[in-house]
Structure 1
Amino acid sequence: MPTFYKRPGLNIETYDLRANPGDVDFFVQQALGSGGPVLELACGTGRISWAIAAAGVHITGLDRSPEMLRVAESKRQAAGAAASERAQFISRDMTAFDLGQRFPLVICPFRSFQMLLTVEEERDCLGAVYRHLEGGGRFIVPLFDPLLEYLVPGGVAARTSMRIGEPVRHPVTGNDVVVDAMERENDPLTQTFVERWRFREMGAGGRVLREEWENLPMRWIYRYEMRYLLELSGFDVEAEYSDYEGAPPAYGREQIWVAHRRG
């Protein structure tokens, strides 16, 4: 698995401000409907875990990045005593974990499943999820639906830089932070890519105060490939949405999979 979130810096410091695909309310409602407890894979900074805990549901957040977990734990006091008692965070690899507990709901938000770069890792993760779900329990996992023009070696994504979202204000310094994907290398054989991301903290007059670089490797997964992966791993697909309002599947948008454990 890649280490895009391994080291401290602008990436993690501004994560909560940039990672906002409108999914929090969706996952909170799913958690409430399950009755809890909930297991969140790749919980990161606790962006979703703390919202679920605040809604009254017990949650276990799992991540392998010490820096992301440190940020998640730093929110404990602000969350208040009641929510704090309902949330726990643990360091584990989502392809190999055994918590000795089953859950009615497991979630893996914000395309984190696509940071597994081989089918073997994907199957290992799905197997671990299956073992941790109650009978009939749900697994919800969003992916991006790949745009074919971005997958060609040397294509448009490889030749041009791309601004990642709008500039955000650093939570400590108040300076603007801008993020750009400067280059991309695609491997259609393995269905993987590596993007080179540049993070810059900007000062007055456009002066660059800090500049940091990170590599983001991910694997793209086609729609029916994901359906087969789920079915092979012991799940039945209940629904696929293209957004968090429940829109039907659509090319180039989101793949939000809702599946339940078979048997």
Structure 2
Amino acid sequence: LAALDRSQLRLAAGTWPGDGGSGTREDPLRVALPESAAAALKLAPGGEPLTLTDRTTDRTLTVEITGLYRPADTSAPYWLLDELGGRGQRTVDFTTYGPLLTGPRALAAPRVTAGPTGWLATADYASLDTSTTDALARSATASAAALAKDPALGTGASAETGLPQVLERSERALTVSRTTLLVVALQLVLLAGYALLLVARLLSTERAGETGLLLARGASRRRVAALAAVEALLLALPAVVLAPL
């Protein structure tokens, strides 16, 4: 038996059980059954009431199935709170079906054995960036430990978080990605540098005869260097402007 967040559910047949029933102790407790469990047990809404036996106290409880439900999304973190993971049934040494959905008011009644209560907290990561992941991981670990010791939750509370492990995997993946990009960038720089040296060598060899002819006709070395610089700028300046684009 459980009181679930109905925003995480979809009604497949019948009706919701409301608060579970406000009648006498002998009246059946109204519940909704998971669709998959109903198919395995061949049950449907509106059938004969069922008698359940508590495994720990041997007390009996009569329930009436008013509807069938299915999880809206079994991969949602909310179903980590369910020992069946939202699947409706699980077989280990024996088969467990459920949870039978009823209202919080019914679960507070004496005829239902008290059980644990769980909450799932999720954060807004819109403002998270790589500079705050380490601090967030430390904070999540410390907060979970402090929450488990909070006197408002009693002495039997436990708090778990998988955020530090997720952040650690993300940090490793980010490091690998950055390293890969750096290696590729270095390879491109080396390739570009080699191509530049090769072209410069070819141009220098081609210009050697022209430079010698200019020097023989009386041009100074400064004049030859200036002509070479102007020619280089005519190529380099447009490249500098267009390269970022």
TM range (shorter): under 0.3
Higher strand share: 1
TM-score w.r.t. structure 2 length? 0.24
Greater radius of gyration (CA): 2
Higher helix share: 2
